[in-house]
Amino acid sequence: MKKSCLTIISFLLMNIILIPVFGQNKPDVITDSNTPLHLLEPDYNIPYGIPEKGNIKNDLDRILAYLEDATPTKLVDKDSGKEIKDFNSINRNVSISRGDFRLTSYEWGVTYAAMLAAAEATGDNRYKEYVFDRFKFLADVRPGYMKVLYDYGNTDSQIRSVLSPAALDDAGAMCAAMIKAGMQNRELQLDPMIQNYMNYIMHYEYRLFDGTFARKRPQMNTVWLDDMFMSIPAIVQMGRYSGENKYYNEAARQIKLFADKMFIEERGLFRHGWVESADFHPSFFWGRANGWAMLTLVEVLDVLPENHPQRESILLLLKKHIHGISALQSGDGFWHQLVDRNDSYYETSATAIFVYCIAHAINKGWISPISYGPVATLGWNAVSTKINGKGQVEGTCVGTGMAFDPAFYYSRPVSPFAAHGYGPVLWAGAEMIKLLDNQYPKMNDKAVQFYQTEQKTSAPIFSLGGRDDQIVSGSTRKNKSNPVILLIGDSTVKNGRGKGDNDQWGWGSFFEQFFDTTRITVENHALGGRSSRTFITEGLWNKVLPGIQEGDYLFIQFGHNDGGPLNRGRARASLKGTGDESEIVVMESNGGQEEVFTYGNYLRKYIRQAKSRGAIPVVLSHTPGNSWEGDKMIRNSETYGKWSREVAEQEGVYYIDLNNLIAEKCEEIGKEKTNELYKDRVHTSYDGAILFGKTLIEGIKSTPKLSLNQFIKK
């Protein structure tokens, strides 16, 4: 008996120990690789990283190709099925051809607006023509169907919602899209349809006593969040279309009426429904309805005048909503059918709307790209997985009414024939292309980050340079198979940001023009004010070094700033000479100690570390200052030029006496013309930078065995 009990206890203890080890959702990765664990590749369920604009365009093109076929614009005889080409012969037996989607639904109003956005973002007019063709078709068949409706009281269902709208679903999204298209192409003659839609929205749609758009289902006086989008964007667009402020004011008023009833401040979310007679309003945060609300705010802010008194409050509401929604994004990039319930399914249309709105708000400058750029990027990567090979959008919830229990939302079907997904996905892709055009995303430590300036680095982990964030980090490697010439130095190589500030240029800004850039490229990593010492101590060299590869060329030019105090002021001086001696100094700026080495010692460090990566170092003497003794320009042949030559010879690398070559060139043209090459004693004008670059090319050509010659333009 005792033995049996001991056996059971032992078994239980073993399982208690084993459960934490083997009961994880994702097991530990065991590896004998030398790769640091934090650099192991993550296991993502969706693509992760920064999408390529070309891939986004390909996704959108597949959708366009599918929809071109799936939404024909032709009339057919109901009995024979034959196409009717004479629009004057429309009668009650003629119908609009049925495709996969209706040409006049609110979902297609969204799709038309998104197509226009795609045309703008991509420059591909096929998207615009898709809209123009279908709107022209509707305008052309409208008179014939108006007569049928008048004579018989009924007509084809696809056109009836245009002729006699009976709900906001019939009117708002189509009206807004028609206004956008009509303002781009007046020849479409959409005004009769626009005015008809707007007349219904403003004067015939049911409202609460306070003016809020409402419905009589599923309960009397129910406010649907969906109706924000089915009405307000059209109203605000009408303000732009007509120039009448009353439409702007009504759009702003409706936003406040909806928000007062539907926006849950502490959650940053909109509830789906509100019932006037209820003493408690259950809050179900349906994904697509929150998308419609966010899209409404974005659409209004795009058009509402900057000086409108409600503009700031609407912008604040958008920011709160984006904040609340962003916090609920799943680890796979999607948002859920009920956004706050992780056990409800991933839903494509809502995810796409949020991606569009967030990316658009960044592009407009309303929200921070640092905070929200990665959210939009992750969301698009998720959405892109739902575009199948045919160009269909999968994972979209079908049309959905309102309920006051979760099971209803959890169980709504999804289908690629749910029209709600196509417009949002097109809109999201178009805006992501704009986002990638306007912003500077970069992978850093395997995470997507957004930066204010382009980060030209191939380093897997990098830091920003603070005041020196214009430093090019690592290597851009424009073509991975081609070598790169990397330049390091001071302001005579790159002045300021290399954009001609104060009309001062460094020769490195134009150096690439002398080479065949299909075979080699130039990267200017120099920075003004730096010496051979501070280019290292300020961390700039550690940004360049990781990007150097075998076959690259490293041009090293220092000396202008290597004099002066060791520990005071800019404290950038190196010790004179090329020896191994050093001196420990106490820095005036922070009281810390620094060991300062010779000029030659720092040059050796650049050379040896570049050679260790298979690169070819080329040491240059620094450019001469505009100082003369008689008709002779003063050289540095007894100081930094001499030391540069000595180090190059000791290390067995190439040396070009740029100082002497330029001085000889200036002596040939004389002092007066040389003065035109300089902006002060040291820094050059555009013409001076070009001449110095040409002079260096001559030095390269006259340097025996320097393989770089093969890349110089003939």
In the chain, the N- to C-terminal Cα span, in Å, equals 97
**CA 131 – CA 137 distance, rounded (Å):** 10
467-711: CATH topology is Rossmann fold (3.40.50)
Phi and psi at 387, nearest 5°, equal: -100, 110
Q: How far is CA 85 from CA 76, 88, 94, 185, in A?
A: 9, 9, 11, 24
> What does the pLDDT look like over 282-326, one tens digit per residue?
899 999 999 999 999 999 999 999 999 999 999 999 999 999 999
Residue 282: what pLDDT? 82
pLDDT attached to residue 498: 80
Q: Are 146 and 214 in contact, with CB atoms under 8 Å apart?
A: no
Q: At 483, list the tokens.
A: 């070598």
pLDDT per position as a tens digit, 522-565: 999 999 999 999 999 999 999 999 999 999 999 999 999 999 99
Is residue 544 within 8 A of residue 535, CB to CB? The reply is: no
User: What does pTM read for this prediction?
Assistant: 0.68
pLDDT tens digits, residue range 505-530? 999 999 999 999 999 999 999 999 99
Q: Which residues of 521-533 are buried (b: 16+ CB within 10 A; e: fewer)?
A: bbbbbbbbebbbb
What is the SS3 assignment for 167? coil
Q: What is the mean pLDDT of residues 383-397?
A: 98
CA atoms within 13 A on the CB side of 561: 22
DSSP class of 86? -
Residue 46: alpha-carbon gap to chain centroid? 18
Percent with pLDDT over 70 in the chain: 93
Domain ranges of the chain: 53-449, 467-711
Q: Is the pLDDT of residue 359 over 60?
A: yes
pLDDT of 473 strictly over 70:
no
pLDDT at 644 over 90: yes
pLDDT tens readout for residues 27-53: 455 555 566 676 678 889 999 999 999
pLDDT value for 20: 40
Give the pLDDT confidence of 180-203 residue by residue, as tens digits.
Answer: 999 999 999 999 999 999 999 999
Tell me if 208 sits within 8 A of 223, measured CB to CB: yes
At residue 276, does pLDDT exceed 90? yes
* Contacts with 7 (C-beta within 8 Å, 6 or more apart), sequence order: none
The answer to whether the 53-449 and 467-711 domains have the same CATH topology is: no
Question: Helix 106-122 to helix 422-438 angle, to the nearest 10 degrees?
Answer: 20
Strand, helix or coil for residue 524 = strand
Options 3.30.450.20, 3.40.50.1370, 1.50.10.10, 1.10.287.130; CATH for 53-449 is 1.50.10.10
